Amino acid sequence: MTLTLPLIGSDVASTFVEDAPIRARRATVDDLPALQSLWQRADLPWDQLDRYVTEFLVVPGEEEGTLLAAIGLQIDGDQALTHSEALFPGEDTDVLRSALWLRLQIVARNQGAVQLWTLEDAPFWRSVFTRAEPAVIQQLKSSFADPTAEWWTFQLIDPVKAQKLVDERMAIWEASRQADSTQLADSIQRFRQFSFLIVGVVIAMMAIMVLYVVIRRPEAFQQVLRGFGGR
């Protein structure tokens, strides 16, 4: 059973995607040359990032094969890291980041993440993420965890609403399972009753045949009995 968990109120990914002037998408291997160009412009370790190309979200340009923006999304259990932002110079950076942000939430949520983390320091990211408390950082056990870093975080899924939804879906599933079990038991019972009816009809027909032979052809019945007696 697959559960779709609710987003918290500040998540507008599903609401405004259709109205966004531009849209982001998942990167493909075909995007690697354009991604490498962006990474090099952003002074990122492009020769190390290329192996993670499909983990990036990108904003395509108007010309085929061009990209205007990219950002990485590393999923580790129910935690996700937003990293390695790269933007094409001269573009409206906040518009590009808005498109990436919408897609980030959708992709992270669909992959089971409940919380986003980042070290990106652009004003846009600082406006949607909040500074993580030291106690929260110390509890972070993901592979990208660094207790000495200045982490910013975003609660992607409301834990209270998520747990409530899980409980409701589990209750529905359990009720459905019990209904299916009851239906199966009823079907088995009806099959057994039908089988007994068929057996009863066959026995009754055999009894009628025997009675017919005894009444109409007693000599044949006696002959049959003598035959069994001779054995």
Considering the domain architecture, whether residues 97 and 131 belong to the same structural domain is answered as yes
Average pLDDT over residues 178-202: 81
Average pLDDT over residues 124-137: 94
Residue 181 has which token pair? Answer: 């079990």
Considering the domain architecture, whether residues 87 and 32 belong to the same structural domain is answered as yes
CATH at 58: 3.40.630.30
Considering the domain architecture, whether residues 76 and 135 belong to the same structural domain is answered as yes
Average pLDDT over residues 53-69: 94
Average pLDDT over residues 1-19: 42
pLDDT tens, 72-107?
A: 999 999 999 999 999 998 878 999 999 999 999 999
Classify residue 74: in a domain, yes or no: yes
pTM, full prediction: 0.62
Classify residue 5: in a domain, yes or no: no
Query: How many percent of the chain have pLDDT more than 70?
Result: 77
Judge whether 184 and 191 are in contact, CB under 8 Å. Answer: no
Q: Specify the number of domains making up the chain.
A: 2
Helix, strand, coil percentages, rounded to 5, for the chain: 55, 15, 30
Considering the domain architecture, whether residues 142 and 30 belong to the same structural domain is answered as yes
pLDDT tens, 142-174?
A: 899 999 999 999 999 876 666 565 566 666 767
Q: Which residues contact 125 (CB under 8 A, 6 or more apart)?
A: 82, 85, 97, 118, 152
Residue 126 confidence (pLDDT)? 95
Considering the domain architecture, whether residues 51 and 135 belong to the same structural domain is answered as yes
Considering the domain architecture, whether residues 172 and 216 belong to the same structural domain is answered as yes
- Of 157, 177, 197, the last residue of a domain is 157
- Of 123, 157, 191, the last residue of a domain is 157
Tell me the residue range of the domain where 177 lies. Answer: 163-230
